Structure 1
Amino acid sequence: MNHDQIVCVVRAGGDCERVRECLGFTIEVVETCELAPRCDEDAVTFCTGGGAFGEPRMRVRQACAVHDLVCVASTDGSPRCALGTCPPSDAIVTTCNGRSLTTCSGGVLTTGTCRAGSECSETAGTCVGAGAACTRETCEGDVFVPCEPISGRTAGPIDCAALGMRCRGFGTLGAGCVAPDDAECGSGGGSCRDGVIEYCGHDGVRRAYDCVAHGFEGCVSDRCVPR
């Protein structure tokens, strides 16, 4: 995921429908479909479910066009959303242009943009921190300051408050954005009522997932039960 997608997912607060929209995913319950992943009209398409436990078979599509990309099959046959093709090679080649990086891997050309506070590294083949030297993630008020392990430097800060969250330190384990003190709910597990799972999102907002509407028999505790 790129930075914009990550922010979109975090702001979704555990709302599965919104997360799928962030990533261009659609899920459809079907009777039959091809199991092998493939490119279908510029969408990465594959099937899941329908196993021994009776879970519904679902066709999953990731629309590459949502991100101005096309669907390309790599040298091993696996489909990916990408810029296009490139000369196949065993090596992974990364080229930097400012904070933008372009990578050729398995005959597939992909691109990305390093977030503010990071820089592209052709040696590392990825984005690395470009800030001050660091040893662990920290909080500056409600701003989360990541510590990028490859460079040992801080990466772009993340404003937890702008995401409806707060920053919390975990001692030597680092830090991260967590639900606010005045959240609607805590971090406990979900519960089931009439086929609907009620749970607490990462932003502390109470949410629900309708198992029946998504092709399941119902739910038990915090899990959907297959038909």
Structure 2
Amino acid sequence: MPVKFRETGNITILDIEGNVDINSSDIIEMIGYLLNSGKINFIFNLENVNLVDYSGLSVLAIAYKNVINHQGKLKFLHVSLQAVELFKMVKLEYVFEVYSEEEDAIRSFYEEGACSLPLRRKFKRLDINLRVKFWLICSHKRPKVFEGGVVNISAAGLYIFSKYTFPINSQLEIELILHGGIKFLDASANVIWLADKELQPHFYPGMGAAFVHLTHEKERLIINFIDKNITHRAEPAL
């Protein structure tokens, strides 16, 4: 994929184009080359990126870790709403700094105590505490049932905080439980992300899962649930 870089002061800006996916290892290679050249401060400009998928998210996380391990900083510019939703689903909005203006992103490297706005401040999101039961979809008549907590949910998926996790691409059945033990939703989901202990210590262990084959009725149920709780900031509404 096309990756060009330019410099302003001691900051290197990577202008990324196309899709960020399983074929985007060039990004990691470019970061490695620049780090070996003594560069440590980076901005990923995603203005011309069409799509960030689950594999591409792993590419961005690996690049981020490589920079942090060299005592550097990596920030993101012009992130699409599609990528924002993906960041939120796997709780990376607590990790990545995102800017909408290049000048603001550059200034943040120089201003002492600069007030950058991570995604959790810039986009509507729902933090909530729900119980969840989940199990692997398999041919066994009695699959083992695990439990955990849901700390983030959207109509696209959810983040499960639990010591029980499964490999990426595992297929799960889930049941969401409201306070009082009332079952709120049952659905199928695919594991798309496993929490990284270094990047996400407060949400480790856990996993992000994307809903699959969600009916229109269930999708509306989730959306209405989110709207009510964002509006009232109260206990989960029925």
| Bigger share in strand | 1
TM-score normalised by the chain length of structure 1: 0.24
Q: Which structure has the larger Rg over C-alpha atoms?
A: 1
TM-score normalised by the chain length of structure 2: 0.23
| Bigger share in helix | 2
